[in-house]
Structure 1
Amino acid sequence: MAASMRTLAAGFLSRLQAAAPLVRTLSISHPSAQKSPGSLWKLGRLNHVAIAVPDLEKAKSLYKEVLGAPVSETVPLPEHGVYTVFVELGNTKLELLHPLGDKSPVASFLQKNKAGGLHHVCIEVDNIAAAIADLKKKQIRVLSEEAQIGAHGKPVIFLHPKDCGGVLVELEEA
């Protein structure tokens, strides 16, 4: 019985080890990835995941005091109607969002989601103007006519969630 279990475990382990390089190859984003044919822009790395929070100080404390992550100071962005805080994770960031005023898009999000939750994902692009033009041609709606300056001081645009599988997507020029 023990010998057959060892044989079974060894077989499983060898299949797992054989599959691991393939999984790593598929999951790694290569900086030298080619642009899609005819495209003037390239999708880059995940910049951050944004979480709307009803209590910004409590959320900051969770990531800083409990989990031990580096947490930025709170920065008001009146042009976007939010307070923002970035949590550094090494390979990416979390952006904590809290409403700045009643007309904030995050305020309406929190009215529907009292406990907060995933608000958007931000992906870098190498040429935001080309990305916007190309996506409009492909019938992907953008939430503003042109890019605005985002929390990192770089041009950003938001794509309509109904055109992106139910996810609000922010593109940021790298």
Structure 2
Amino acid sequence: MIGRLNHVAIAVKDIAAAARVYRETFGADVTAAQAQPDHGVTTVFINLPNTKIELLEPLGADSPIQGFLDKNPSGGIHHVCYEVDDILAARDRLVAAGARVLGSGEPRIGAHGKPVLFLHPKDFCGTLVELEQA
């Protein structure tokens, strides 16, 4: 069921400064910042040969990333995203196995324009997991 690692997301206070670190220090291919109002974040992707790094900055006071940064002022890894071939089948299989899907349980469109779901970190070794339709 689980596919390739799509990205690792890192919460940051200042997305421009964080993007500059990846661009200037690592010489990485860094996308332009994109507001994702449905998710309460601004995103930047660092494209790597085998996956991506997603930088997340809070967008608005109700952003879930702001809550994360309140608890982790320096920022840090927020979640990992795995691809699945069929997000609804994956959801149903995981729920049947006892996993909790956050939110309504219905996929939403994510930053790549594909359906995504988030799984409760307590069910996955303390890690927030995002599933993205491949």
TM-score (norm 2): 0.98
1:146 is the counterpart of 2:117: no
Deviating beyond 4 angstroms after TM superposition, the runs of 4 or more aligned structure 1 residues are none
Give the deviation of 1:101 after TM superposition.
0.4
Higher RCO (Cα < 8 Å, 6 or more apart): 2
Question: Can you give the 5+ residue segments of structure 1 that lack an aligned partner in the other structure?
Answer: 1-41
Q: Identity percentage over the alignment?
A: 59
Q: Match for residue 116 of structure 2?
A: 156
Report the structure, 1 or 2, having the larger strand content.
2
Q: Quick one: which of 69, 74, 98 aligns to 2:57? A: 98
Equivalenced residues, count = 133
CA-to-aligned-CA distance 1:15-66 (integer Å, 9 cap, x gap):
xxxxxxxxxxxxxxxxxxxxxxxxxxx2110000000001111101000112
What are the residue-to-residue correspondences of 1:1-174 with 2, within 5 Å? Answer: 42-144=1-103, 145-174=105-134
Structure 1 or 2, whichever has the larger Rg, is 1
Structure 2: stretches of 5+ with no match in the other structure: none
For residues 116-161 of structure 1, the C-alpha deviation after alignment (integer angstroms, 9 at most, x for no partner) is: 0000000000000001111111110000220100000000000000
Letter of the 2:9 partner, please give it: A
How many Å apart are 1:95 and its aligned residue?
Answer: 0.1
Alignment TM-score, normalising by the size of structure 1: 0.75
Matching residue of 1:8: none
